[in-house]
Every structure is written in C-alpha cells, then in structure tokens.
Amino acid sequence: MVPNNYSSMKKLLYLAIIALMVSSCGDDKSDGSSPKPQGFAFNLVSNGRTLTAGESHTMRIEIPANDVQKVELFLDGRSIWSKNEQLSNKMEYVLETASMPLGSHRIELEVTKKDGKARKKAVDKVLLAANPPKKRSAMVVNSYTHDNQAFTQGLEFYKGFLFEGTGNRGQSTLRKVNLETGSVDYKIHLDGQYFGEGITVFNDKVYQITYTSKKGFVYEPDSFKVLKEFTFNTNKAEGWGLTHDSEYLIMSDGSHRLYFVDTINFTTIKTLEVYSNTGPVNYLNELEYIDGKIYANQWQSYNVVVIDPQTGAALEQIDLYPLVDELGETPPEVLNGLAYNHDTKKLYATGKYWPKLFEIEIK
C-alpha cells in the first residue's frame, strides 16, 4: 500500500536532483571572469602525403597560446625550429626541401605547456625527386667469353683482372678472371651454407657479402685468404649488391635502400633511400661506383639506374637491352654484373649464366 504523501515526496526529490545537476554544470571560473581550460588541444596542419624536392612546404601550427610556453619542430628527430615568445594561436613554418635527402621523413611538433608538460604530434611525408630520370641506352663496343656456369653476383676490376663473385648455395665462388680469354685463373668456393652475393675491392682488400646469412668476408686479393669475417644488417636482413666510395662500403638489399657501411666495425653509418619523381626505385641489386655516382642494376630488368649518393635521386635510367640482341639468344638468366675499369674508363656488363661479357658505351 502506497502512502498518501508518496507523490509529493517523489516530486520534491526530483526537484532536488535537478537543482544539483544545474549547479554542477555551471562555469568553473578560476578568476571570476574567464572559464578554466578543460583540455589541451593543438594541431599541426600539413597538406599532402608527398613533397617534391626543391619546393617550399608551408605547415600551420595551431595552439592555445595562452597556455603554452614553447613550441618546437623536429625533422627526423632533429630540431629545426623553436619559439618560446610572442606565441599566437596560429603560426606558420616554411620547410625548405632543397637540401633534404629523398624518401620518408617524420615531422614532429612538440608543444610544452606552462606547467612544463609536453606533448607531440607527428606527420609523415615522402620527398620525391624533382625530375624524372634521364633516359639513356647502351651500345656494345666489344664482347668477350664469359663462363656460362657463373651465376654472376658481383663484378669488379682490380689490377688488370676481373674479380667475380658467384652465387647459389653450394656453388658460390670468388674468382679471378682473365678478361681477354674469359678463363678463370683462380677461384675459391664458399662454404656450402652460404649464398654468395656482391663483391668489391677496397683498399687492397676484397669484400664479399652473402644473401640471407648476414655474413661477409674480407680476403687478401692474391691468395683469397680470409682475413676477416663480419656481420651486417639491412632492413630486409639480406645482402645483394656491393660497391664503395672513398670512405664506406655501399650495400643494397633488393629494396629501394642503400646502406653505407663502415669498414672497421661494419656498422651502418647511413641509409639512403632511392626515389624518382614518382616513387621509390626498388629491386636495386649489383652496384658500381663511377665518377661520384652509384650505378645499380635493377633485378629482373635490363635497366641500370644512376643514383646521386647525396640525395638518393634517380638521375638516369640506362637501357641495356641491346646486350640481349648481341647474345643472339634468349638470356638464360637476368642481367647482373657491372664492372668499371678506372684506368681505361671502360664499362662492362654481363648476366647470370651469360656466355658473353660486354664492353659498353652509354649513349
């Protein structure tokens, strides 16, 4: 049975709850005039996923200026701009891309509040080359006999001989070849567990890397005595091509990245991303360093890409398909093997299991 005054009590209770809710939803004013901040929102506005090298890129910074003591921008972890006075709610920063290497970059905005607390927001960008690679082609000047049992992975001139590294597990070798006759004057076999890949000769030592073992070898160039073994690492955990500049080994892993490797401790000093004006240049394989540029054969193609070692820009694309016509038959395997004789200024190319090696000129 319900008491007669139940409805009145229920109505009074309801009114009390409403009053309490209204009271709690009122403005909480810290100084009697302005609302107390209820959060900390800021933004970094940067339109577009890609940028073009050489262009200026404007970014808008939006912050609650009255609650911030410092703003700072970072490019790939390096501070490029900061401001801690005369802050406004909306500011701009112009990023100049002319001196930036191509490829992926992270831009971070760090905002520090007046209470010392800091937060970050980030945007990711890809910097493309300003121009497409210049198209060129190769012309065969001369041809030589090449061992058609050689699964060519690396090729280099040293003291009048061709040094050649070959692959396939259980069949990998390092060999010294007579250019004129094609005869193999000397060779050694790698242990059966290794799949040989690129080679280069640097400071009178032969360097050879392997495919998936993350292992490399340093040899004495006359006897091929192993002087040292080393380990390396790449994003794909693979070794493909190898060359060097005046200071570092340069290694590829079949992606669009090149790795500059120290010859003392074999750590990666820097990674270079190779891009054209449309995107990454993938499948970089056998390498050669010629007159300050990196030449890279693209796996499963007849293209050689000429790369700027400072920016990663694909400057030229050389078509080596004329070599196929000179073979007179369908190539048994892909093009792979570039060697430049720095004394004679002549460039040579061959492929895996190809019966010929060609001296070429670039038109």
Burial of 307 (0-12, 13-18, 19+ CB in 10 A): buried
Instruction: Classify 44 as helix, strand or coil.
Output: strand
Cα 19 versus chain centre, distance: 64
First to last CA, the chain: 106
Half-sphere exposure (Cβ direction) of 360: Cα atoms closer than 13 Å: 25
Tokens of 102: 């191509």
What does the pLDDT read at residue 13? 42
Q: pLDDT class for 287, splitting at 50, 70, 90?
A: very high
SS3 36: coil
pLDDT tens-digit profile of 161-188? Answer: 999 999 999 999 999 999 999 999 999 9
What is the pLDDT, as a whole number, of residue 31?
33
Question: What mean pLDDT value characterizes the chain?
Answer: 89
Indicate whether 240 pLDDT > 60: yes
**Which phi and psi (to 5°) does residue 11 adopt?**
-70, -40
Secondary structure (3-state) at 7: helix
**HSE on the CB side for 244, CA within 13 Å?**
21
Rounded percentage of the chain residues whose pLDDT exceeds 70: 89
Query: 92-143, pLDDT tens digit by residue?
Result: 999 999 989 999 999 999 999 999 999 999 999 999 999 999 999 999 999 9
* Residue located via tokens 């597990």: 169
Q: Checking DSSP bridges between strand 134-145 and strand 356-362, what pairing results, if any?
A: antiparallel
Which residues fall within 8 angstroms of residue 237, CB to CB, at 6 or more apart? 212, 214, 253
Q: Which two tokens stand for residue 210?
A: 């392997």
Residue 362 has pLDDT above 80, yes or no: yes
Q: Both tokens of residue 262?
A: 């120290």
Mean pLDDT of 331-338: 93
Higher pLDDT, 8 or 45: 45
Q: What is the predicted pLDDT for the residue at 77?
A: 95
How far out from the chain centre does Cα 159 lie? 33
pLDDT at 16 over 60: no
Model confidence at 25: pLDDT above 50: no
The tokens 């927001």 sit on which residue? 121
Which is it for strands 303-307 and 314-319: parallel, antiparallel or unpaired?
A: antiparallel
Confidence band (pLDDT; 50, 70, 90) for 351? very high
Q: What is the mean pLDDT of residues 336-342?
A: 96
Per-residue pLDDT tens digits for 181-202: 999 999 999 999 999 999 999 9
Number of H helices and E strands in the chain, helices first, is: 2, 28
Distance CA 301, CA 363 (A): 19
CB neighbour list of residue 246: distance below 8 Å, 6 or more residues apart: none
Question: What per-residue confidence (pLDDT) applies to 41?
Answer: 87
DSSP three-state, residue 9: helix
* Neighbour tally for 306: CB within 10 Å: 20
pLDDT over 90, % of the chain: 85
pLDDT of residue 89: 94
Average the pLDDT over 272-296 and give the result: 97
Distance from CA of residue 215 to its chain's centroid? 21
Residue 105's CB: how many other CB atoms inside 10 A?
Answer: 18
pLDDT of residue 39: 55
Residue 3 is predicted with a pLDDT of: 43
- What is residue 102's predicted lDDT score, i.e. its pLDDT? 97
Task: Tell me the per-residue pLDDT of 200-230, one tens digit each, with 9 for 90 and over.
Answer: 999 999 999 999 999 999 999 999 999 999 9
CA distance 181 to 232: 35
